[in-house]
């Protein structure tokens, strides 16, 4: 890829025909953070993990839009460079990376086929209503999360459902955004069902 592309890691698919997992790390992570998670979720899929694309609550709409556009351009370049199918991209994100995945579904619905989001926040205060029929989302949210209020998780799920997306909101008793335990197991089961349908 050209020298303007963000720093990233890429792991090719172990078997053709599986969707690309776009791994979007949290605020204290980097491009390596979710590689093992992605490999565990769909072991034979290609993995693409860029550095530094997250969004957070408090950004204005223009900043969020700019991040989504940058991500879309990166994915466009990467899928061409690595010879990947741009129509089957599934995002896997934690915290700020998960919020970016959610914003991407709403602002640029053609970018992602599905998203697995651990502790996302709804960063768009007046979200658009694109047609998300055929798109899927898995949201893992903690009942005791001190950063992302459970009401925010419910609001995000409602925003996506209102647009026609198939949304699963998985609650766990934790308070953080760790990608582990029952939430990870539930995401894996959900994603493997979708993998056969893509």
CATH number at residue 169: 3.40.50.1820
pTM above 0.85, yes or no: yes
33 in any annotated domain: yes
Query: Above 70 in pLDDT, residue 92?
Result: yes
Q: Which pLDDT tens digit goes with each residue over 8-57?
A: 999 999 888 889 999 999 998 899 999 999 999 999 999 999 998 778 77
133 in any annotated domain: yes
- Rounded distance, CA 19 to CA 113, Å? 9
181 in any annotated domain: yes
31 in any annotated domain: yes
82 and 46 in contact (C-beta within 8 Å)? yes
Q: Give me the residue label for tokens 């991500």.
A: 71
The pLDDT of residue 159: 97
Query: Above 90 in pLDDT, residue 172?
Result: no
187 in any annotated domain: yes
Hey, which residues does 116 pair with through a beta bridge?
Answer: 92, 138
Q: Which pLDDT tens digit goes with each residue over 94-117?
A: 999 999 999 999 999 999 999 999
What average pLDDT is seen over the chain? 89
2 in any annotated domain: no
Mark residue 181 as left, alpha or beta (left: phi above 0; alpha: psi -120 to 50; beta: remaining).
Answer: left
3 in any annotated domain: no
Closest CA relative to residue 89, chosen from 109, 64, 68: 109
Per the model's pLDDT, the better-predicted residue between 175 and 196 turns out to be: 175
Q: Which pLDDT tens digit goes with each residue over 53-74?
A: 778 777 888 899 999 999 999 9
Specify the range with the lowest mean pLDDT, choosing from 88-92, 140-144, 164-168, 192-196.
192-196
Domain count, the chain: 1
Hey, which residues does 16 pair with through a beta bridge?
Answer: none
The pLDDT of residue 183: 87
The pLDDT of residue 107: 96
Helix 96-107 and helix 61-82, axial crossing angle in degrees, nearest 10: 90
- Rounded distance, CA 25 to CA 188, Å? 17
Instruction: Take residue 65 and report the two structure tokens written for it.
Output: 């839009």
160 in any annotated domain: yes
Give the structural domain span for 55.
8-197
Closest CA relative to residue 24, chosen from 75, 88, 83, 58: 75
Per the model's pLDDT, the better-predicted residue between 139 and 177 turns out to be: 139
Range with top average pLDDT, 13-27, 69-83, 133-147:
69-83
Closest CA relative to residue 89, chosen from 21, 24, 6, 9: 21
The pLDDT of residue 193: 84
- Rounded distance, CA 93 to CA 31, Å? 11
């Amino acid at each position: 890829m050209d020298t303007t592309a963000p720093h990233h890691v890429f792991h090719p698919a172990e078997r053709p025909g599986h969707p690309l997992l776009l791994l979007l790390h949290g605020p204290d992570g980097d491009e390596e953070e979710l590689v093992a998670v992605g490999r565990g979720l769909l072991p034979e899929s290609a993995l693409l993990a860029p550095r530094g694309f997250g969004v957070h609550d408090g950004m204005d709409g223009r900043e969020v839009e700019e991040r989504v556009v940058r991500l879309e351009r990166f994915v466009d370049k990467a899928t061409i460079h690595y010879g990947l199918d741009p129509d089957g991209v599934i995002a896997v994100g934690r915290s700020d990376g998960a919020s970016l995945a959610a914003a991407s579904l709403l602002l640029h619905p053609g970018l992602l086929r599905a998203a697995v989001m651990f502790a996302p926040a709804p960063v768009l205060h007046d979200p658009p209503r694109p047609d998300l029929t055929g798109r899927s989302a898995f949201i893992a949210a903690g009942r005791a999360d001190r950063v992302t209020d459970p009401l925010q998780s419910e609001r995000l799920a409602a925003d996506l459902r209102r647009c026609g997306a198939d949304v699963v909101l998985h609650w766990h008793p934790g308070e953080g955004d760790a990608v582990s335990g029952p939430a990870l197991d539930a995401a894996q089961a959900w994603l493997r069902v979708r993998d056969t349908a893509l």
